[in-house]
Structure formats: structure tokens, C-alpha cells
Structure 1
Amino acid sequence: MPFPTPSPMSLRAPGAHRANAVHAGAWWLWALGLATAASRTTNPLLLGLLVAVAGYVVAARRTDAPWARSYGAFLKLGLAVLVIRLVFSVVLGSPIPGTRLLWTMPEVPLPGWAQGIRIGGRVTAEQLVFALYDGAKLATLLVCLGAANALANPARLLKSLPGALYEVGVAVVVAMTFAPGMVADVVRLRTARRLRGRPTGGVRSVLQIGLPVLESALERSVALAASMDARGYGRAAPVTPLVRHTTTVLTLGGLLAVCAGAYALLGAEGGSYGPLLVLVGVVAALAGLRLGGRRSVRTRYRPDRWGARAWLVAGSGAAVAALMVRAAGYDPEGLHPGVVPLTAPGLPLWPALSVLVGLVPAFVAPVPEESA
């Protein structure tokens, strides 16, 4: 009996709705995996490929929500960081020795206690290329975080936080939504002034617009505080001193172990014990957060599910990070092209294929309604 041939529509990812939406934490794990891969290389071709992968996934799976528009802002921030890094290299110099002199700037004489620091002087092609590689890595890290901000719903991420971090998460979400509210008030007031034939520029106009904006922000803050107090925000269940002390030790110890492991992973000699420290730290921190959640008395309505698609999204980011860390062992020259002597960077095959694994969310995550 022949098997039915699946139609092209059955092979596509389904339309996004409440029941099948990818967990917000999965998007952050995917983005952190890309950021980890970016931290392991200074090859501009690989960094550009990471930016392209993140941008494609954002373009394919972001919604029209306000937070989904933050990716462009992170792109601009990354370009600004790259330009600032180049300017600092030109003005403050660089420890990278170079033979290809581009130009010479007037050098400012400094006192004896400022040995090792210079302002102005020689500018070589090697130092500019080194600054370009270094700035591109930091810019790529920012772009990866911007992709997470554009894809993960902050309100749903707040609901998924452990009970011990609920109050901190609420404060962060309120702080993140405060600025967009003020921007909307400014736009509304400027439009109203134009309709009345009043100027919108100048110091006087800024003051006349700023005072109502601050007053509106204060009113929203008071209303928010009243609503949170009415819902019992800040209540905590009693726990024993042993649980409190154990929670503190596990949480702080786990975070310190994660920091030490991350520092080891970023270094050249910590590849053997760095992953173990990170794993132990994550387990200890999760155990501490689990114990700390006993003080939370809140309930969750319709909690987000971590389904198969969330595992695929998070796993693709983790795979990119793991494969890039592995590539640092067998192809260090491809991940870190030489600057002295100055050579053109090449695109290593296997690390590039590893980065392409990050495209999995663009095919398995549910399609937003406007793109379905």
C-alpha cells in the first residue's frame, strides 16, 4: 500500500498561537549560543555570518509587537561600538606592532606616571585591522542579544522566571516598558502641538512638553504601585533559617562558579575545566533558585510549555556554541586570522557550517500570524 505524499503545506512550520509559541527562554538560549560562538572568533567573515544568521531568523520569526522592533536599534548600537573602537585605536594607539604606516598624528606629551599610554602618534594598518576585528566581535555579541530581545516576549519571559527571581523580573520589565511609554507620550504631545499651530522645537517647547510627560509617567507609576499592592506583590511565605542560608550559599556559589567557568572558556587555557565549572555552577544556582522559590506564594495561570520546538531552538544555539568551541581546538588560525603580518582572512569550512546550524529556528519555530 503506497504511503501518502505529504503536501508542501504540511512540511511548513505551523502558524503561531498561544498553545504552540516557542518558550521565551528558548530564544534567549539560542541567542546566547550564537553570542558564545561570536566570543570564540575574531574572523570578520564568521562574525558577519553570525549576524546574517541572527538577522534572517529575526526577519522570519519576529512579530509586529513593540519589543520586536529592537533588533534595528541593536544593529545601530553595534555599528556605533565598532566606530568607537576604531576611533580609540587611532587616538590612543594600540600595542599591536605594525610596519605599514598610514599616517602620523601629533602626539601629546604625557607625564612620567602615564608611561605606556599615548595620545596620537603613528597609525598603522595592522592596528586598525586589529581594532576592526575586536570591535566586530563586540558588535556581533550585541546583535545576538538584540535578536533575543526581538524574538522573546518579555512578559512571557517574566512568567517563566523562578519564584525567587519574580520580584527582580517585575522590576526589570517595568523599567523596560517605562521608556517606550515616555516616547509615546512625547510623540502624542508633539502631534497635539502641531495641530494647534504651536512650535515643537526650542528650549521652551521642550520644557512645555517635558513637564506633562513627567507628570504622566508619575501617574502611571502611582497607578502601577497601587495595582501591584492590591494583587499582593511582595508577599513571602515563611521559611526556616536553614533553607535561607542554604539558598544563599547555593545561589552565590553557583553564580561564582559560572563566572569562573565563563572566564576560563574565554581564555586560551581554560578549555579543559571551564565547561565543568559552568555545569556545576548552573546546577548549584538552579538548586538555590528552586529552594528560594519556596518563599513565593504566587500562582501561574496557563504557564508556557517547553515543547519539542523549544528544544530544537535552544539546541541549535547550543550546538553552534559547542561546535565553535570545538573548532577553536583544531583550527585556531581560521578563527583568529593573523594581523602581524597582515593577511586576508579566509572562511573556514567547518566553522561556517557550524554557524549555519543556527538557522534551524527559522524553519521549526511557528510562523507569526502576519507571515503565515
Structure 2
Amino acid sequence: MRRDLHPLAWWAWAIGLAAYASFLTNPWLLLLVIAVAGLVVAARRGHQPWGRSFRLYLGMGAAIVLVRVLFRILLGGTAGHVLIHLPEIPLPGWVLGIRLLGPLTREALLAGLYDGLRLAAIVIAVGAANSLANPKRLLRSVPPALYEIGTALVVAVTILPQLADSVQRVRRAQQLRAGDTRRVGRLRRFLVPVLEDALERSLALAAGMDTRGYGRSGGASLAQRRVTGTLMLLALLGLCAGTFAVLDETAPRWLATPMVVAGLALAVLALVVAGRRVERSVYRPDPWRRAETLVALTGLAVGLAGWWVSRHQLAVAHPDLSVGPQVSLIALLGALVGLLPAVATPEPAAATA
């Protein structure tokens, strides 16, 4: 049976892939994460406009890698095997630790490539979620207390999908009529309608949201607002202290996991209390079934695998720049688990949601 999965399930899966990539700099594993995201998108994206935005994220990832490598070439500073002797540009004496050009080493190129691939994999994982999850249904799934913030976030993450749809519509329209054949003229004829179309759609969306009462909340007494603010402040303090203790091994252990758990519990409680004053109804809420649970657990498993490899297989997670990167069976299986949604979930609905 064809149906669209719950959008939060796809975001949980994508966050797991992004977390896996954030723990590693191994290029083979990062390329595997990108391939997994691409295969799942190709197998389970629908026919909606946002389903065609994945190419933009692939192009953005390639640009990130290229810019990262170019910065390594421009700044240099990494010792190792010299590939090319570039002329060094002299800088003032007060600029310490910065060098322009100079000898280009293999280690500098590899460091830029590894760092760029990691950031590109994270961006592409987020792009996979944008291509698979219906943003309108995602907005319906936001908790009531975060509805105003969720509205802004959903509008923000749909900018690239809307641009992709505008590009295709303008390109099809221009193919039906003749025009300026000069390169500058073609660029102007292409960019101006795309930006105008995206702006008009954004204004129409904002007007539609305003007429439907988006951002309107029920009344709350001064005592209720003080309780909600106190709970959120305590939750923030607990999460900050717990995160600091987790990252700093010299901190007392009672500040680590217990404080993180306490902060999360207070945050959930504050959201529940704040959500009671938000008046919102949902028509035909999206079901959460076994397929959604499988997709979310897949993302969790991929993220945990990346964390385990970064803790117990440091040479695999962060290979030395002087030798070839190696992979392990656990690292490979941890990334390949992310392919399960491509075969274990129903195909997307044929009709536009």
C-alpha cells in the first residue's frame, strides 16, 4: 500500500546520518553516508516539488568540498610531503600563524578534503530529509508549544525546495519562447523570474498563514507564564551543565548524564505546560506505524554506530593524513543500516500531498 511516512521519522533518520558523519573524517565512510542518503532519496521520494530539491544539496556539498580545499591551498601551513612549491605572499609581522600560499603539501589537501566531505555529508543528510519529508505535514506534527517556532523553521527549510520548483517552471516556460541569446541576457532572463516567483510564493504563504491564525495563542495568566519561564530556564541550565560535564572528563560525573536527563525532563514538562495555552486543531493527524518506528530506529542505530567508532576505533574514524584511510566492519555496517528505509518502507503516495 502506497503512503507517505510521518515526516518526523525521516528527520530522525537524517539526523542519525548527520550524527554519524559528524563523528568521522574518514573519506570512504563519508562517501558511503552520501551514497546511502542518495539511494534512499531515489527510492522513496515522492512527486512533490520538494522531492526534486536533492540535486541542490548535492551541488552545495560539492561546493563546500571545493571551497574547503581551496582555503587549504590559499592558507597552507600544514607540514608534510610537498607537492607544488607555490610562491608565498609576504604578510605583516603582526599577522602571526597565517600564511598565504607557499609550499602545497599532500597533508594540507587531504585535510581540506576530509573536513569538506564531513560538512558536505551533514548538509546532504539534511537535504535528504527535506526531499523526503512533507513540510506541510511536518508543521502539523510540531508540538503546540513550539508551533510558532516550528512555523518559521518549516518556512526556512522549504526555501531550497521552492527555488528548485521555481527553476524548473521558469526553465520550461523559457523553452517555449525565444529571447536574448547572449550569456548575460540569458542569465538575467533566468534569475529574475526565479527570484520573483519564489518571493511571490513566500508572500502568498505568509498571507495564507496570517488569515488562518498562525501564531495566535490562548491567554495565559501571569503565574502560568512565570512557571513556564522558570521551567525553561532550569532546563537550559541543566542541559548546559550536563553537556559541559559530558565533554569535560575532569568534571564530576554527577554533573554529566544525570543533569542532561534532568534538563530534558524539565524541558518536556515546560513544553507540556506551555502547550496548554496554544489553541490549535489538527485535521487528519498523521499516523505513526511500524514503518515510522523502523525508520527512526535506523537513524538512531546509524548515529550510535558513528559514536562507537569514534570512541573505540580512532584510527578508522580519524585516519592519519600520511597513510591511506582504513575501514572496519562495524563502521561499514553502521552506515549501511541506513539503507533499510529504501526497502523496508512503503512506496510514497502517487498523488501529490
Where on the TM-score scale, by shorter chain, does this alignment land: which range? 0.7 to 0.9
Write the distance in 2 (CA, Å) between the matches of 1:47 and 1:241. Answer: 50
* 2:95 equivalent to 1:114: yes
- Please tell me the residue identity of whatever aligns with 2:115: D
- What pairs with 1:174-253 in structure 2 (closer than 5 Å)? 174-175=155-156, 197-199=178-180, 224=205, 226-251=207-232, 253=234
Provide the aligned C-alpha RMSD in A: 3.4
Distance, in Å, in 2 between the alignment partners of 1:104 and 1:267 is: 41
Q: Which amino acid aligns with 1:29?
A: A
In the alignment, residue 271 of structure 2 is paired with which amino acid?
A: L
Query: In the alignment, residue 30 of structure 2 is paired with which amino acid?
Result: L
TM-score normalised by L of structure 2: 0.84
Residues 260 and 277 in structure 1, CA contact (< 8 A), matched pair in contact too: yes
User: Which position in structure 2 is the counterpart of 1:29?
Assistant: 12
Per-residue deviation, residues 284-334 of structure 1 (Å, max 9, x unmatched) = 333222222122111111111222221111111111111221222321112
Which segments of 5 or more consecutive residues in structure 2 lack a partner in the other structure? none
Q: Call closer, same or farther: CA 1:264–1:127 in 2, change over 3 Å.
A: farther
Aligned counterparts of 2:163 and 2:133: Cα–Cα separation in 1: 22
Distance of 2:256 and 2:116 partners within structure 1: 25
1:181–1:358 Cα change, 3 Å: closer
Pairing partner for 1:355 from 332, 335, 347? 335
TM-score by length of 1: 0.80
Return the offset for 1:182: 6.8
1:85 aligns with 2:68: yes
Distance 1:131 1:192, change over 3 A: closer
The structure-2 alpha-carbon separation of the partners of 1:290 and 1:189, relative to structure 1 and needing over 3 Å to count, comes to: same
Give the superposition deviation at 1:51: 1.5
Matched residues in 2 for 1:75 and 1:294: separation?
41
Identity level (%):
45
SS state of the match for residue 47, structure 1? helix
C-alpha deviations, 1:56-96, integer Å up to 9, x for none? 211111112111122221111111111111100010113x4
The answer for the alignment partner of 2:111 in structure 1 is 130
The alignment status of 1:56 with 2:36, answered yes or no, reads no
Using the alignment, how far apart are the partners of 1:269 and 1:68 within structure 2?
47
Partner of 1:148: 129
Count of matched residue positions in the alignment of Structure 1 and Structure 2: 348
In structure 1, list runs of 5 or more residues that go unmatched: 1-14
CA distance 1:114–1:86, shift in 2 (3 Å) = same
SS of alignment partner, residue 2 of structure 2: coil
- From the superposition, tell whether residues 267 and 336 of structure 1 become closer, same or farther in structure 2 (CA, over 3 Å): farther
**How big is the shift at 1:218?**
7.0
Q: Which residue of 2 aligns with 1:70?
A: 53
**Match for 1:86: what amino acid?**
V
Letter in 1 for 2:71: F
Partners of 1:40 and 1:266 within 8 A in 2: no
Specify the structure having the higher radius of gyration (Cα).
1
- Asked if residue 101 in structure 1 is aligned to residue 82 in structure 2, the reply is yes
**DSSP-derived class of the 2:325 partner:** coil
- Give the drift of 1:22: 2.1
Structure 1 residue aligned with 2:2 = 16
Query: Residue 304 of structure 2 aligns with which residue?
Result: 322
